[in-house]
Amino acid sequence: MDAINEVSNVLSNPKNILITSHRNPDGDAIGSSLAMALWLKRRGHRVMVAFPSEYPPIYNWMPAIEEVEIYDVDPEPIVSFIKHLEVSVILDYNSLSRIDKLGALFAEKDLYTILIDHHLFPDPIGDYVLSDTTASSTCELVYQFFKSLEPDRSIDHALAECLYTGILTDTGGFQYATSPALFRAVAELQEIGIETTQIHNLVFNSLEEKSLRLLGHCLSSRMEIIPEFKTGIIFLNKHDFTVFGIQRGDTEGIVNYLLKLRDVHMAIFIRQQPSIIKISFRSKGDFSVEEIAKTYFNGGGHRNAAGGYTKMGLADTLDLIKSILPKYKESLIKPILV
């Protein structure tokens, strides 16, 4: 029995299914999880979506998001559901370490596990695995999954909204990791009748005033350009978090502003958290920030978008970043092909 027939057989009868995605869920994590939940419920399954931590409020409009359980807020419903769990669906991550304590609840259970993801270096944790690092997003892969199992059945409006949102956000508004296959999928989603302009506005044009003021602060007072390495850095310290009342989602997208500069090929955004320093990396062209994140900062991701962290102080983290730039100078200063 091939993989897709096996998973079809597993899902042919109602099951108790838990869908999880990574800590600090983004649009792709949320969109893929909600789409999968809606699709499975349509097939008669009992489904729970659980995230380790809260999601940004800009996604409060999404279909069925009010049913999502948050482990950090209240673990009890999740713990209770897992007692009778039969199938685990892992979306937009590929190692149980990405969901912290939530992963330990079902790591040792005898489950059928479905893993759908587009990040590098997946752990061997799935019975059915759809892993493609060239895909734009997990939502693109979930779309393919639906089409493989139900080629003659159309995707409904709510599913289309969820999938489109994940694709829109993970491609940075269709700037990154696009392909003819992706645009064919998006065309089908749009033909269903979703309001793509409205979704774009809900996701990208729904800032609170403090978020725009925070962006101004970052660009005027927390930005450093290192021209000899074509690198830009923005950092936020604990004081900034207090002054601006920064909450989950308020810093989303700030790192990308550095890449608007013609002579910046790598952008780095550093946030001082209570116990760790979180770092986001972005790049242009074929320069791999994934390698830097993995080698030096306990992280990973994609060629042009990655993340990591340190347990050092802010000043030491900045010093470490600047100390490794000479090792990558030749690659960083290469002209970007346009």
Query: Where are the domain boundaries for CATH 3.90.1640.10 in the chain?
Result: 3-204
CA 3 to mean position of chain CA atoms: 25
Query: Where are the domain boundaries for CATH 3.10.310.30 in the chain?
Result: 209-332
Domain 3-204 homologous superfamily, CATH: inorganic pyrophosphatase (n-terminal core) (3.90.1640.10)
Asked if residue 112 lies in contact with residue 127, where contact means CB atoms within 8 angstroms, the answer is yes
Render the burial of 82-96: b for 16+ CB within 10 Å, e for the rest. Answer: beebbbbbbbbbbbb
Asked if residue 176 lies in contact with residue 169, where contact means CB atoms within 8 angstroms, the answer is no
Measured between alpha carbons, how far is 110 from 325 in angstroms, rounded to an integer?
46
Rg (alpha carbons) of the chain, rounded to whole number: 20
In angstroms, the Cα distances linking 238 to 72, 243, 271, 293, 301 are 22, 9, 8, 22, 25
Architecture of domain 209-332: Roll (3.10)
Per-residue pLDDT 10s for the chain (338 aa) are 588 999 999 999 999 999 999 998 999 999 999 999 999 999 999 999 999 999 999 999 999 999 999 999 999 999 999 999 999 999 999 988 888 889 888 888 889 999 999 998 888 888 999 999 999 999 999 999 999 999 888 799 999 999 999 999 999 899 888 999 999 999 999 999 999 999 999 999 998 899 999 999 999 999 999 999 999 999 999 999 999 999 888 898 899 999 999 999 999 999 999 999 999 999 999 999 999 999 999 888 888 999 999 999 999 999 999 999 999 999 999 988 65
